Structure formats: structure tokens, C-alpha cells
Structure 1
Amino acid sequence: MPNVAVLARGRWKDSRRHHAHADVLQVQCFKFIALTPICFRFSVSGCFRNMGDFKHLVIAKFKEGVVVEEVLKGMEKLVSDIDAVKSFEWGQDIESQEMLRQGFTHAFLMTFNKKEDFTAFVSHPNHVEFSATFSAAIEKIVLLDFPAVLAKAPK
């Protein structure tokens, strides 16, 4: 069995319990510490280097009796009037099984060049005003705000 340092209860120990040597532990710890930035650089920060736009995803279920078309017109006007919004897409679910969709019917995706643009959008007076109208029309909502990681570029 190879000699490997393991972390147990907050202390580094040799995996071969009977022959633990301090020098082996030091070498193994050094390898771990020395390689960690390399692994981190290629796995985690590699993703962050390819980050693209900032996204605002809203998934909603409207209340009974709401005229969804009116809400959609208001939202389209809102994003057209605020320059911080790079793009806006929306759609109504037509394929998912009810059990999987959990009652949600519409998805809205706004794209911003950077998080600061999103912050400006959220505090914009038109958004604040429209949020009250939108909130009154929805029964359930899920919001996700995230920096997008480009995994595959469009052709």
C-alpha cells in the first residue's frame, strides 16, 4: 500500500498506521499543498475565467384570473426602457409533466453584461414600480441571479 498522508480529526496521519514517519508526512503534506493551487486553477478558477454575462432567471406561476399577456407587455416595456438589460427572453412551458414543473408555467431570462448592470436594474425606479405589479400577479416564484459560465459557445 502506498504511503499517503490523510487528514483525520484535523491532524495529518500516515495511512499505514504502524509505520508513520514524520518525514513521509511532511513530504506528502508538501505534495498536497503544492498541488492544490494547480488543481484549483484548472478546475474552479478555469470556469471563472470563462464567465460570461450575469443572468437573472425568474420562474413563475401566475394567479388564477391574471391576464398574463398584460403582465408580459409590461415586462417587455420595462426591459426595453432600461439600458442595463442586454437581452430578455421568456417562454411558457408546454412540454413538462405537471409533477416535474410543480405548477410553474413561465420562465423569464434577463442578461446583463456584468453584475453591476443587474444591480442598477434592480434599483431602477421603473423596475421597483413594475415589481409591485408583477408580485401581485404571481402565486409562486423562483429567482436565480448568477454569473453565467459559458460551457459551449453558440455556432
Structure 2
Amino acid sequence: MRIPRSELRPMSSPFHGVIPGAQAYPLGQIDLPVMFGDRANFRLEVLTFEVDFPRSYHAILGQPCYAKFMAAPNYIYQKVKMSGPNHIIIVGSTFSHALTCDHEHYELATAVINSFKLPRLGELSTLAVPDCNKPTSLTSFLPLEETKAVGIDPIR
């Protein structure tokens, strides 16, 4: 949206649950007008958004949004209903779009969690390099007596 960072209010508390198992620290908060409906029947309210942490969503509209718009979400039908000046405003999505968002969120969460875990795994594990000059133990592979050497023809 090309909003300068100088317009963001600082935020010190992290989010929990946006990325499973990790905390997300946003850059700040900003108040933006949000409108639902069309020209003939719309609702406009100012909402506070937390800005710029990695996620698959463009915005997370939760209980504060529903309370401000006096909206009723129905998670089964992927719809949000709210009263408008002329009639009820219904905002909806499709199951395929919700599934696509879930897949994107899973891939992003997996990548973020792996980026945190990979450096720690490197610290915890030791690099095992075999010593080529050390003789092998008796439990090493020993060929059977009936094994015979077979020459390989490099022409074929």
C-alpha cells in the first residue's frame, strides 16, 4: 500500500498463534478505513492493523473487527453478515479459496519454523567425519567366500 513507516505506531507485544509454535513481531500498528458492501449499501469503520510480519494473509479480521461492525461470522459457510443502512451485507468466500489459503499458511508456517530450528540443529549436532586412516572394525562388511570379481566392459 506504500504507507511510509513513519506513520506506523510502535508495538511491543508479539502475536501468538499466527505462526504455530513461534512468535511474530510486527513492525507497528496503523489505523485504516475499512468498507464492506457496495455504493447503495455499505458500512465504513476505522480498524487498527498490525503491519508486516510474514504470513499468508493480507489482513486478519478477528473479534475487534466483528465487534466494531457488529458482524456475525459463520465459519461453516465462510460468510460474515452485518447490518447495513438499507439491508444486510453478506461478505463471503469459497471453500476452494479457504483451502488454498490454508495450504499457503501451512507452507509459510513450516518454512518459518524450519528457519528457526535449522540453526539450533546445527548447534546441537556434531559433524561426524570418518577417519580414512583408522582401520575398520571386525563388524564391517566382509564379502562372502562365494563372491567372485566381475570385470566391467567400458565399451558397452
TM-score normalised over the length of structure 1: 0.23
Larger radius of gyration: 2
Greater RCO structure (CA 8 Å; 6+ sep) = 1
Q: Which structure is higher in strand share?
A: 1
